[in-house]
Amino acid sequence: METLSSPIFLQIINALNIGVMVFDQQQQLKVWNHWLEKHAELPASLVCGKHFAQLFPDLRGSRVESAINGALRQGHPAFLSQSLNKSPFDLYSKSASNGSVNRIQQCINVVPISGDNGERYAMLQVSDVTAAVQREMALRRQTEELTQSSYQDNLTGVANRRRFNERLEEEFLRAQHLGSALSLLMLDVDFFHQYNEAFGRQRGDQCLAQIARKVERSLRKPGDLVARYGGEEFAVILPDTSAPNARKYAERLMVAIAELGLPHPQSAVSEQITLSIGIATMEEGKGSDLTSLIMAADLALYRAKQEGRARIGTHSGAI
């Protein structure tokens, strides 16, 4: 194909700000433009005339080779996105800001073209989509951060009420479907109002944050969740946890909070911060609705507080 070597054709493709390579029906490279010379650091004189497999042995059997074959044999065009093909060619760019060298993120158009003698060629157009990929990644990170912040309590760093509601509904439906147990614990910091009055709101906030971290570290399974339910009250979701095991966990948690050793001289039950805990369990997925489970845990917490605080209350009976 004389057009491939014509001066005007070479001037055009060398002026393009994308990579252009052309293969003949024997998969021999016929054209390698200036953009590719720059970013591959390989002159056209060194690579033209060589077979695809010799130039790119790592791409044997790849989508790129399949697309070239499709263009040469059937005349089918193809588009290879960056997301599916992960920058197949060894092309690099140098950062203008710090001089670092980075692999170029690429998308590739494979276009069949016909020569004057009827021979078919495959032209590959390689575009630099690095900036677009970086913008997409930054946008994804921002979206993840926004999602995370919308589910996180600003003061304590644990899940907020919104996240709690969503997760409890998910676990409730899952437990019903699988016939498994689901335990819910409601935690209340004893005499917290008096603590705030004695030490101030800032110390009170620090106290809640310390308790939240301690509860979070006490969780054993990936599906367990602690959330700030409101004020000085927290909720813990324990999927696949029976009533006896939920109580054992609550007992360990009481010890862990005591180990914090947070002074509370205004407490009527201890010289340091304590918790009252209410437990409700849906056994074998036999629960009527979420509201009943929450009310049962709330009632168990109320009883624990009525009976003197710094203790565990357990709901008995069906949910």
Give me the residue label for tokens 């193809």: 78
For residue 197, give the nearest of 188, 187, 207 by alpha carbon.
207
Residue-wise DSSP of 33-81: -HHHHHHHT--HHHHTT-BHHHH-GGGTTSHHHHHHHHHHHT---EEE-
Round to whole Å and give the CA distance between 312 and 191: 16
Among 145, 232, 259, 284, the one annotated catalytic = 232
Give me the residue label for tokens 């509601």: 165
Residue 194, both tokens: 């008096």
| Buried residues in 242-280 as b, exposed as e (16+ CB within 10 A) | bbeebbebbeebbeebeeeebebeebeeeeebbbbbbbb
Are 174 and 243 in contact by the 8 Å Cβ rule? The answer is no
Round to whole Å and give the CA distance between 54 and 50: 7
Residue-wise DSSP of 186-240: EEEETTHHHHHHHH-HHHHHHHHHHHHHHHHHH--STT-EEEEEETTEEEEEEET
Whether residue 232 lies in the annotated active site:
yes
Round to whole Å and give the CA distance between 248 and 195: 28
- Phi, psi torsion values for 43, nearest 5 degrees: -75, 150
Give the residue numbers annotated as catalytic, written as ranges.
Answer: 232
